[in-house]
Chains A and B, each alone.
Chain A
Amino acid sequence: DTEVTQTPKHLVMGMTNKKSLKCEQHMGHRAMYWYKQKAKKPPELMFVYSYEKLSINESVPSRFSPECPNSSLLNLHLHALQPEDSALYLCASSQDDPERYNSPLHFGNGTRLTVT
């Protein structure tokens, strides 16, 4: 079990749909992350929120829209996705900056997204 909860676990959506992925943690962590992982590939960083502010956007297409309503919640809004966006979407959190403050990342189990 993980302390980072992601919902839903599986999602199938059409290219014209709008859906949202949700992530929640109650560890008091101040940084939250979205990673995308294609089959047999490493996780790719998409977004980083630090103290509820977007600090990193790794040139992600605008059809992915992150939102951090409060320090415990992180959403990823999806709109007009393409089949190649099908992947495992992983949320993570950390107490603070993992490099500067020696904070490990805590990952959720991910949402398996299929775009048809």
Chain B
Amino acid sequence: SQQGEEDPQALSIQEGENATMNCSYKTSINNLQWYRQNSGRGLVHLILIRSNEREKHSGRLRVTLDTSKKSSSLLITASRAADTASYFCPRGYGGSQGNLIFGKGTKLSVKP
């Protein structure tokens, strides 16, 4: 499949620890986006990194992009219980407009 694949599928950490999740993709990209979904709710856009960027920060989030390895990582520093959610890096494919396809995501559990 051509959607982004997140790894690991599940991650459990203690509050205050850092959480790192990874995303791999197969085709060339113009950008890569990360989303968060709290249980049973809509998805929230977290950060977008363009193909000519290598690193981007937003608050406690740090995203890196390695286009040579076709991979990205999302680091959440000093995690909080409220960070408990599923995280996705959807990918477009097929040259058609707007078809962002979601992989299985990383389910992050932050224990207080």
Q: List A residues at the B interface (Cβ < 8 Å).
A: 2, 4, 31, 33, 35, 41-45, 48, 50, 55-56, 58, 88, 90, 92, 94, 97-100, 102, 104-110, 112
Number of interface residues of B (CB under 8 A): 25
Q: List B residues at the A interface (Cβ < 8 Å).
A: 29-31, 33, 35, 40-45, 48, 50, 88, 92, 96-105
Whether B42 contacts A109 by the Cβ 8 Å rule is: yes
Whether A107 contacts B104 by the Cβ 8 Å rule is: no
Whether A45 contacts B101 by the Cβ 8 Å rule is: yes
Whether A48 contacts B45 by the Cβ 8 Å rule is: no
Return chain B residues, CB-CB under 8 Å to A45.
Answer: 99-102
Return chain B residues, CB-CB under 8 Å to A44.
Answer: 102
Chain A min CB distance to B33 (Å): 6
Q: Contacts A43-B102, A90-B43, A108-B42 given: A98-B92 contact, CB under 8 Å?
A: yes
CA distance A42 to B43 in the complex (A): 11
Whether A42 contacts B103 by the Cβ 8 Å rule is: yes
Q: How many A-B residue pairs have CB under 8 A?
A: 80
Question: Which of chain B's residues has its CB closest to A51's CB?
Answer: B97
Return chain B residues, CB-CB under 8 Å to A99.
Answer: 29-31, 92, 97-98, 100
Return chain A residues, CB-CB under 8 Å to B92.
Answer: 98-99
Q: Contacts A42-B88, A102-B30, A102-B31 given: A97-B97 contact, CB under 8 Å?
A: yes
Chain A min CB distance to B61 (Å): 14
Return chain B residues, CB-CB under 8 Å to A97.
Answer: 97-98
Q: Contacts A88-B40, A104-B48, A108-B42 given: A48-B88 contact, CB under 8 Å?
A: no
CA distance A79 to B43 in the complex (A): 26
Question: Which of chain B's residues has its CB closest to A97's CB?
Answer: B97
Q: Which 5 A-B pairs have the closest CB atoms?
A: A99-B92, A107-B42, A42-B102, A104-B45, A48-B98
Q: Contacts A99-B31, A99-B92, A100-B30 given: A106-B100 contact, CB under 8 Å?
A: no
Q: Contacts A99-B31, A102-B30 given: A55-B105 contact, CB under 8 Å?
A: no
Return chain A residues, CB-CB under 8 Å to B33.
Answer: 98, 104-105
Chain A min CB distance to B11 (Å): 16
